[in-house]
Structure formats: structure tokens, C-alpha cells
Amino acid sequence: MGSFTSIVYKEIKELIRDPKILFGVVLLPLLLYPLMGQGLQISQQSVQTAIRGAQFSVYSDDKGQVAGIFVQYITTNNTITNIQATGLQDALVKFKDSNSVAMVYVPNGYSQNITDGLKGHVKIYGNLKNLNIAEASGVEVAGSLVSVYNYYYSLAMIKQLMVATGNLGDSEAIRSPLSINYASIIKGNVIEVAPSQITSVILSQSIMLPIMVMMMVIFAIQMAATSIALEKEQKTLETLMTLPVGRLTILSGKLAGSVVIAVAGSISYMIGFGYYTSSAFSFAPQLTSVDLTGVGIGIQPIGYALLGIVMFVTLVSALALAISLAVFTDSVRSAQSLTGVLIVPLIIPAMILMFSDIEMLPPAIQWIMLAIPYTHTMLATKAAFMGNYWIMMRSILYISAFTVLVLWVAAKIFSTERIITARFMSFSFRKKKRQAN
Amino acid sequence: MGLAIDVRDLRKSFGDFEALKGTTFSVEESEIFGLIGPNGAGKTTTLRVLGTLISPTSGVAEVFGHDVVKEAGKIREILSYLPEDAGAYQYLSGEEYLRFMAGFYARERSAVEEMVQAGKDISGLGDRLKDRVNGYSRGMKRRLLIARALMIKPKLAILDEPTSGLDVIQAYHVRGMIKDYAENMGVTILVSSHNMLEVEYLCHKVALINEGNIISEGTPEELKARYNAVNLEQAFMEATQLG
């Protein structure tokens, strides 16, 4: 086994055998996310069951025929109780003490208004005993019942008027005379799909990729920082530095070992997260499937190749940065706290660019964002979907330049005595000592 | 016999602090040489320079004729360095640790296994070498580390406080390991220690170091005679005029 392979093998063994890493990075996402998803699914199912079994009430102060028809329609549903009361206050007391989640109230004057061609007012009261989602959803179901009645009642009235006036036509068309259809132009091609539908499909496909990239880089940073800090904490670094092996071999061995664990952590995260989304949102209606590959949307083989390069240079730069910082610490805990700072320039561009374009931001923010190398990682993942390979190339060049710089710094630290003597504390300590003298 | 170590007017500064102020000494091949002095005297700094971990500010430091700055790579091939508070990888077993280290000095599988076997014999840890290092006592770790340092048959072994933190029995065993190995293998050993008794037992030659300077050098018997002392401790106190 060569020195490089030997170091990589040792790094993987050390990291994977550390219970904190094995559990926190590899096993926890596999356990936590499915459990969270299962929890959400159970909660959603119980809400749906509660909605299906929800009871409603109706009370009418209007004794007119029109109100009677409305109450009769409402009570056709056998879960509805028609409250018999002396007035609204009495009805509300009875409603409060009942198991009903909503009460439809028809005030006096409803029938008269409808007959006069005016709006008939109804009011829906919600009985919020536990302030939960099931109660609020139950009230919405009562609202839907009224809306359905409203729709068909208006159509019936239009038909009556048309017959009375001798008009011919479609009552539905008179009720809603305009029909709107959407289409989108993408890369010069017109496709008969609404823009919102396309963006939701792209978002649903592209959102996972930046999350995966972000998680992988964050894991890698933690691994690299832990790897170097472990050497310092276990007091093995000095011995390692006196071995007949190039310092750059040690550095690259550590980087490679960290990448392997980070990739394992990311895969575990994605499996866990995938299970979470599939179980947690199983109740949600599925998005209409739109095939956009025909218009050049979606990742093509060249896009995957460029994306691979983007991820590689991003990982290497983040790892080298983490190692360069971790050298200045002397424990795993302090290394992880210090490298936690690195996560900020990763998360902020990812969050902003997940939902908006860089061109939409104010110019000053745009320049700041563009200066952060990891913004370009996110820009490249978006560009991969759109087939904008020029943007991807630009991102690769920028991140590579940054990677070379950071690797140079890391190599400098590794090849000099700074790897042994560097401490963040030493400067402030010396300063204090001088002041004390 | 040639010189294993040649240090001349060696200086090392950390910012405003001068740790070594013109240290000069030499060590013959196959000699066990002791560097003794109080905390902050410059022992560890000297050993780190010779171990190619840090660079001197000025002066000459050579190991078997190789300059510590210009030929650090060549020195690392013939050197074994054991830092004072060194540890081993806690999630590897003792045997895995020895095998990992042997892999840097031997390419052939048989040569690696030969080194590992030598390490097992030197450590005397037996079946405990199958256990992970995080279950070892301090004494067991130190024995493992000394075995690691010696199993590769280095031309020069630098041992910084080899018995530091060990109880009397463990320290006795470790000293025995070092002395037996040096006598049998003819390895040059540079030892630093606070323990004058240990140095007197182990070393052919001793240098007294204080405040970055070698203040006296010779065999333990010569030093005792020079300062009319009954032991090295008294000799050191006389030499530093602290007694």
C-alpha cells in the first residue's frame, strides 16, 4: 500500500470508527429523517381522519323559503345538525357545547336579499376548542359546502333569467365569460404549459441538487476539520510530520479521506431526506408531470460532466479551507466551531439562489454574492438545468482559481513549521503578556 | 565512528522569545546521548529542529551529515522521533497503528510484517495489541509509541521525555526497552529528560542545557567529577550555579 493510500485508509478508519461521526454523519440522517417523515405522516393522517369525521351545524334566523332551501341542501349531508334555538346567542351556546367544528349561520333577510337580486349573507363560526389544524380545516370544509351551493345556485338563477328573457346560451359561459389559457416560451420554443407549472417542475427537480451539494460540502468541511483537529487533540501530528512522506501527500490523503466520509454522509442524508419528503408529503397532490427535455431543460450528459467538475473543485476548496483553519485549533470542538463560520457563505447563497435569480438582487448584493466562490456552485447547478454551459465554465474557472489559492495556503501551512506552531491563542496571549509587563 | 548529530551555534526564536541561543553539541554514532535541563531550557526546541519539525533561525544542525533544512526528506528516512506528549490514533488497534507506521518505511509486505513483529516484541503488549488504543493505559500507550519509534530500526531515535507521566514500574520497563534495543541494534539515541537518574542509567554522554545554551557536556562520570557532585542532579545545580 502506498503512503497516500495508507493515509486515506487510516483517515477513513479513524473517522468512521469515531462514534460521534458514525452516528452523527452517517446513521443519524438515516434514522432521524424517516422518523420525522413518519411523524408528519401520522399527524397528517390523523388530521385527515378528523376532517372526514368532522360534524357541522346550521342555524337559520330566516324563516323564508329561499333560506329553507339552503338549509335543506346543507342538512342533506348527514353529519350536519340543524340547531333549534331561540336566537343566535342561544344557538352559539349550543354550538359551543356540541362536537361540531363549524356552524353555518343564516341571518334574517337572507331570503329577501336573494329574492331582490342582492347578495344573501351567511356566516360560518368555527369552534376552536384545541386550536389545531383539524379544527381550522373543518371550518374550511363547511365553507366549501357553501361555495358549492353558491356555484350551482347562481347557475340555476342564470338559467331561470335566460328562460324568462328568451336568451339562448351557456349559463356557465355567462357566469364566467372569459377563459384563460397559459403558454410559455422557453429558448425560443412555445410550449402549451403555464409558466408557473414549468417553474414548479424545475424547482422541484433543481431544489434537491443544491441541497445535496450544500450538505456534501458542509459534511466535508466538518470531516476535514475533525481530521486535522483529531491529530492535534490525540497528539499524533508531530509524529506524522516526521514520517518519510511528503507533506502534500499527507494533505491530499486527509482531503481524500474526508471526501469519502462526506460522500457517505451525503448519500445517507439524501436517502433519509428522500424518505422524509416521500412520507411527509404523501398526502399532497402530485405535480403534473411535464417533460421539458425536448426544449433543452434538464441536465444533459455534458451538464453532468461540468457539474461533476464544479462539485469537485468546490469540495477541494472547502476542504483545504477547513484544514487551513483547523490547523490553528487544538481540539475537535474548537475546530468545528471555527469551521462553522465557513458554513455561512455556503448557506446564504444557496438559500437566496434557491428561490430567486442573482440578477433580481440589488447590484451591491450581486457583487458581494459573486465574490463568494460558493455562489458560483449554486449558479452552476441552476445553469446545468438550463443548459447554460458558459455560466458553468465561468463558475468552474472562478472556483478553481479560489481552490488553487486555498490549496497553496494549505500547502504552505503544511510544509512549514506553522502546522506545529500555529495557534489563534498565541497572538492574543502574547499581546496580553506584553501589556502585563 | 562518525558523527550522528552535529549542532553548531544553533539559534531559534519565536517572535521576541529566543528559545535557543547558540546551542552547540555533537553526538557520536551508536551513542545514547542525554539532553537534560529544566522546563523552558530549550530541550524540546532542539529535538524539534533535529526532528525536522521546525527550522532554525540560524546556525547548523546536521543528522548523519544531512542538513535539517535542505535535506529534511533524507533525515526523515533514517529518523524516528517520539514527542514528549505523543499519542496514538485512538480508533486504531495497537497492531493497526504499528502496521500503519511501518508502511511508511517499507514497501514490501514481508518487510512491513517484519517491522510489525519487531514492534510487537518491543512493546511486550501481547494480545492487548488487538485492542483499540483508546482502551490503553498511559503506560501501555507509551510502550506502543516507543515500539513504533524503534521497530523501524532508525539510524537515529529522538526520544523526548520517554518516561514522562509513567509510574516507577512502567518507567523501569521502558528504560530497559530503550537500553536493550540500543545495545543490541547499535542505534544512536538522543534522549531528553528531567529525570537525572534516568539519564545517568541510560546515557553514554550528557549535555546540560539551560536558557537555550549548553552549559556543560561529558559522560555522567566526567560531569560528576567536574562539579564534585554525587549525582547528575547535584552536578546540574552546580553547573547552573543554582545550588
A80-82 and A100-106 beta bridge pairing: unpaired
Nearest-angstrom CA–CA distance, A77 and A81: 9
* CB contact B127 to A (< 8 Å): no
Residue A205's pLDDT is what? 62
Provide the domain count of chain B. 1
- Best B100, B116, B132, B151 member to test A by mutation, with max A CBs in 10 Å, is B100
B158-207 pLDDT, tens digit per residue, is 999 988 878 888 888 888 888 888 888 889 999 998 888 888 889 999 99
**Considering only residues 231 to 250 of chain A, which have any Cβ-Cβ distance to chain B shorter than 8 Å?**
234-236, 238-239, 241-246
Share of chain B above pLDDT 70, in %: 99
| Closest CB from A1, A238, A242 relative to B76 | A242
Mean residue pLDDT across chain B: 91
- Confidence tier at A437 by pLDDT (50, 70, 90): very low
Tell me the percentage of chain A whose pLDDT exceeds 70.
89
Kindly give, in sequence order, each residue whose CB lies less than 8 Å from that of residue A280, ignoring residues fewer than 6 positions away: A36, A37, A40, A41, A44
Question: Is the pLDDT assigned to residue A354 strictly greater than 80?
Answer: no
Under an 8 A CB cutoff, do B87 and A1 touch?
Answer: no
pLDDT digits (tens, 9 = 90+) for A268-292: 877 887 777 777 666 655 555 566 6
User: Is the pLDDT assigned to residue A114 strictly greater than 70?
Assistant: yes
C-beta neighbour count of A189 within 10 angstroms? 11
Per-residue CA distances from B118 to A6, B176, B189 (Å): 20, 16, 18
Dihedral, B73, B78, B83, B87 alpha carbons, nearest 10? 90
pLDDT digits (tens, 9 = 90+) for A198-219: 777 776 666 667 777 777 788 7
Tens of pLDDT, residue by residue over B122-168, are: 888 999 999 999 999 988 999 999 999 999 999 999 999 988 878 88
Give the three-state DSSP class for A430. Answer: helix
Contact present, A11 and A257 (Cβ < 8 Å): yes
Residue at grid coordinates 497492531: B95
A415 touches chain B (CB under 8 A): no
Q: Please give the residue of chain A at the shortest CA–CA distance from B15.
A: A430
Asked if A13 is an interface residue toward chain B (Cβ–Cβ < 8 A), one would say yes
Q: Can you tell me the distance from the alpha carbon of A260 to that of A276, in angstroms, rounded to the nearest whole number?
A: 24
Nearest to B86 among A238, A245, A420 (CB): A238
Distance CA(A223)–CA(A203), nearest Å, equals 30
Please compute the mean of the pLDDT values over residues A47-72 and round it to a whole number. 87
Interchain CB distance below 8 Å, A6 and B100: yes
pLDDT at A64: 92
B100-106 mean pLDDT: 94
Q: What is the pLDDT of residue B61?
A: 96
Instruction: Write the residue in B15, B53, B96 that is nearest to A241 by C-beta.
Output: B53
Contacts of B128 (CB under 8 A, 6+ apart): B94, B136, B140
Residues 6+ apart with CB under 8 A from B222: none
Chain B residues whose CB is inside 8 A of the A6 CB are 100, 103-104
In this structure, what CATH number is given to the domain that contains residue B146?
A: 3.40.50.300
Contact flag B54-A235 (C-beta cutoff 8 Å): no
Enclosing domain of residue B43? 3-239
pLDDT at B66: 96
Q: Residues 6 or more apart from B135 whose CB is under 8 A from it?
A: none
Report which of residues A429 and A275 the model is more confident about.
A275
Least confident of A161-175, A200-214, B3-17: A200-214
What's the pLDDT score for residue A284? 57
Measured between alpha carbons, how far is residue B220 from residues A130, B223, B228, B239 in Å?
88, 5, 12, 13
Q: Which of A270-284, A381-395, A406-420 has the lowest mean pLDDT?
A: A270-284
> pLDDT at residue B7 above 90?
yes
User: With 90 as the cut, is the pLDDT of residue A175 above it?
Assistant: no
Query: CA dist A296 to A64, A109, A293, A303, Å?
Result: 62, 60, 5, 11
CB distance from B87 to chain A under 8 Å?
A: yes
A143 phi/psi in degrees, rounded to 5? -60, -40
Q: Which of B79, B89, B92 is opposite residue A242, by nearest beta carbon?
A: B79
The dihedral formed by the CA atoms of A94, A99, A101 and A105, expressed in degrees to the nearest 10: -30
pLDDT band, residue A60 (cuts 50/70/90): very high
- Closest to A203 measured CA to CA, from A214, A215, A211: A211
Instruction: Choose between A166 and B120: higher pLDDT.
Output: B120
Adjacent-strand bridge partners of B11? B21, B58
Mean confidence (pLDDT) of chain A? 82
Judge: A244–B55 Cβ closer than 8 Å, yes or no. no
The residues, any chain, with a CB within 8 Å of residue B197's CB and separated by 6 or more, are B231, B232, B233
Least confident of A113-122, A211-220, A383-392, B40-49: A211-220
Which pTM was predicted? 0.75
pLDDT band of residue A435 (cuts 50, 70, 90) is: very low
A371 vs B177, more confident: A371
Q: How sure is the predictor about A88, in pLDDT bands with cuts at 50, 70 and 90?
A: very high
Q: How many CA atoms lie within 13 A of B135 on its CB side?
A: 10
Most confident of A20-34, A154-168, A336-350, A394-408: A394-408
Residue A434 has pLDDT above 50, yes or no: no
| pLDDT attached to residue A431 | 45
Asked if A421 lies within 8 A of B88 by C-beta distance, the reply is: no
Query: CA of B74: which chain A residue's CA is closest?
Result: A244
Q: What is the mean pLDDT of residues A7-17?
A: 90
Domains of chain A by range and CATH?
A: 3-42+192-436 (no CATH), 53-175 (3.40.1710.10)
pLDDT value of position A397: 95
Question: Regarding beta strands B32-36 and B205-210, do their DSSP bridges make them parallel or antiparallel, or are they unpaired?
Answer: parallel
Q: What is the pLDDT of residues A301-351, one digit of tens each?
A: 888 889 888 888 888 888 888 888 888 887 888 888 887 887 887 788 878
Could you report the predicted ipTM of this complex, rounded to two decimals? 0.91
Instruction: Please give, rounded to a whole number of angstroms, the shortest distance from the CA of B229 to a CA of chain A.
Output: 37
Q: Cβ B105–A421 below 8 Å, yes or no? A: no
B104 Cβ under 8 Å from any chain A Cβ: yes
Report in angstroms the alpha-carbon separations of A139 from A53, A77, A88, A133, A151: 13, 15, 18, 10, 19
Can you tell me the mean pLDDT for A167-196?
85
Q: How many beta-carbon pairs below 8 A join chains A and B?
A: 73
What the block records as the C-alpha cell of A266 is 451525503
CA separation for the pair A321, A323 (Å, rounded): 5
Predicted pLDDT of residue A433: 46
Contact A244 B77 (CB under 8 A): yes
Interface with B, mutate which of A10, A248, A254, A432 (most B CBs under 10 A): A10
